Amino acid sequence: MNETLKIANSPVMWTLSLLIVAVVVFQSIVFYRLASKRVKTTNLLKPDQVKKALKIGVIGTIGPAFAVFAVAIALIAQVGGPLTLARIGIIGSAAFEMIAAQIGSGGTAGTPEFVPKMLSAAAWVMTLGGGGWLVVVFFTTKHIDSLSEKFKKANPLTIVYMSVFAPFIIFFSLGYGEVINKGLLKETTDIAPLLALIAGGISVVIVNKIVAKDSSKKWLKEWAMGISVVVAMVVGTLLS
């Protein structure tokens, strides 16, 4: 185990992981420049709206980042810092990486049986399993834009409906999986996921009511998602 972690935390591994993260940073810069160019040529948004959108986007990542950070700590102890950075640092799922590490290593990650060969197997499973995000984003983003233009021409309301309902569908599917499959349908019923979901929803309602009563606190709306995620995490942890 100690020999394996020495390899996992070696300078070569750090160099390779930083190169992978650099690819994501490069993609982010390219997408930002393309978006900025699009805004300037179409005048879809005003400069202050662009700044507000960026601010909301940054704030919105704070809540989910706590969950990723918690999983990353456990993952570092199993497969080392570089591999964790390479996997968590790209567009992936922290929970998936934990499962992939265990499957790839044959359940030996974090145990004395975790030899270098098992580290290599875990790294391959984690990389191949999560690499799809990078490939899909790189090759499909431009085509999605042209597809949305076709939808707009066919029926302008299609994009509006998709923008409104897509977040609800995503959160519902994620919430359903956690609440039903991992909570209520377990052999020993666990209501913690359900109560966490309810607590997160209530926190958003409270934020909206505060903003409605006091217009000077509109900035709270930008923090609504982050607050709801943190509240849900705290409630879920306390009740688990």
pLDDT given for residue 49 in this prediction: 82
Answer yes or no: do 102 and 178 share one domain: no
Answer yes or no: do 118 and 34 share one domain: yes
Answer yes or no: do 63 and 143 share one domain: yes
Answer yes or no: do 100 and 209 share one domain: no
pLDDT for residue 201 is more than 80: yes
Answer yes or no: do 84 and 165 share one domain: no
- Domain termination site, one of 109, 133, 154: 154
**Model pLDDT for residues 211-221, shown as the tens digit of each residue:** 888 877 777 77
Residue closest to 88 by CA, chosen among 17, 15, 139, 140: 17
- Domain termination site, one of 154, 180, 200: 154
Q: How confident is the model at residue 202 (pLDDT cuts 50, 70, 90)?
A: very high
**Model pLDDT for residues 5-37, shown as the tens digit of each residue:** 889 899 999 998 899 889 888 988 998 888 888
Cα(217)–Cα(106) distance, rounded to whole angstroms?
52
Cα(67)–Cα(178) distance, rounded to whole angstroms?
14
CA atoms 222, 226, 232, 238: torsion sign: negative
The vertex-177 CA angle with 85 and 133, nearest 5°, equals 35
Q: How confident is the model at residue 63 (pLDDT cuts 50, 70, 90)?
A: low
Answer yes or no: do 149 and 167 share one domain: no
Q: Which distant-in-sequence residues (6+ apart) come within 8 Å of 212 by Cβ?
A: none
Domain boundaries, position 193: 156-240
Q: Which distant-in-sequence residues (6+ apart) come within 8 Å of 1 by Cβ?
A: 111, 112, 113, 114
Q: What is the pTM of this model?
A: 0.59
222: helix, strand or coil: helix
Answer yes or no: do 61 and 128 share one domain: yes
**Model pLDDT for residues 30-59, shown as the tens digit of each residue:** 988 888 888 888 877 788 888 888 887 777
